[in-house]
């Protein structure tokens, strides 16, 4: 079974770029352009990992990640911030997400970060 990755970014081009790169590595992808229904969708679809920009509508990636990390149904889902924000690393640490990448980055970096986080998650469950 392919692992499911949810990508949240307000830039449609980024969504297509990430989706194509991840699908080449046998990941199933879903996309959102805002955080409006994020919590409901995550609870329903149960992705294995979320990639999220910090600067996205409605409540922004930082607040959305805090909601996910404070919800009993979603707190274990790893989140990677992918943003051009200069403070991505600081925000990622503050919110407690599992990783971050500063835009722009190569698709290989994204795949490597995802595999690192998912492998670590599998290891901790054994």
Which residues neighbour 87 within 8 Å (Cβ) at sequence distance 6 or greater? Answer: none
Q: Residue ranges of the alpha helices (H) in the chain? A: 12-23, 38-45, 60-69, 88-95, 107-125
Task: Return per-residue pLDDT of the chain as tens, 126 residues.
Answer: 689 999 999 999 999 999 999 999 999 999 999 999 999 999 999 999 999 999 999 999 999 999 999 999 999 999 999 999 889 999 999 999 999 999 999 999 999 999 999 998 876 654
Residue 126: the pLDDT is 45
- pTM for this structure? 0.94
């Amino acid at each position: 079974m392919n692992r499911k990755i949810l990508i949240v970014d307000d830039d449609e081009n980024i969504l297509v770029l990430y989706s194509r790169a991840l699908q080449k590595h046998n990941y199933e992808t879903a996309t959102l352009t805002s955080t409006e229904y994020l919590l409901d969708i995550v609870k329903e679809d149960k992705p294995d990992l979320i990639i999220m920009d910090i600067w996205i509508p409605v409540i922004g990636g930082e607040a959305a990640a805090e909601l996910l990390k404070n919800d009993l149904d979603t707190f274990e889902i790893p989140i990677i911030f992918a943003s051009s924000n200069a403070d991505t690393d600081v925000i990622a640490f503050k919110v407690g997400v599992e990783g971050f990448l500063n835009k722009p980055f190569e698709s290989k970096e994204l795949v490597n970060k995802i595999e690192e986080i998912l492998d670590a998650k599998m290891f901790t469950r054994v």
